[in-house]
Amino acid sequence: MSHPVETLHATSLQGFAVSSKRGYLNRIWYDLAHGNVSFCDASSQILWSELVDDKLKIVDYLTHMLNNIDDYINNKKYQV
């Protein structure tokens, strides 16, 4: 079994597809939950700019979803 920090540094988030990022984050979440890696080590491979970019994408997505829900309710699209 490799050392958690070695495993952590073996994967970089730059240039990875969303599924790869999700896999990386799931692995880190698991390692943090089981005490295999510290929060400092877990966050060392995540750039602040990537977090901000991801946050903006999430806010845009949620705003779009809420607008769709508002439109659905306001225009009574639930009625047949």
Tell me, yes or no, whether 42 and 65 share the same domain. no
Token look-up 């079994």 returns 1
Tell me, yes or no, whether 77 and 60 share the same domain. yes
Low-confidence ranges of the chain (pLDDT < 50): 1-16
Tell me, yes or no, whether 39 and 1 share the same domain. yes
Q: Global pTM?
A: 0.54
Q: How buried is residue 45: exposed, middle or buried, by Cβ count under 10 Å (0-12/13-18/19+)?
A: middle
**pLDDT computed for residue 50 by the predictor:** 87
Q: How far apart are CA 19 and CA 1, in angstroms?
A: 24
Report how many domains make up the chain.
2
- Range(s) of the domain holding residue 74: 47-80
Q: How far apart are CA 42 and CA 5, in angstroms?
A: 8
Tell me, yes or no, whether 26 and 61 share the same domain. no
Tell me, yes or no, whether 39 and 8 share the same domain. yes
Tell me, yes or no, whether 25 and 57 share the same domain. no
DSSP characters over 16-27: --HHHHHHHHHH
**pLDDT computed for residue 17 by the predictor:** 52
Tell me, yes or no, whether 36 and 3 share the same domain. yes
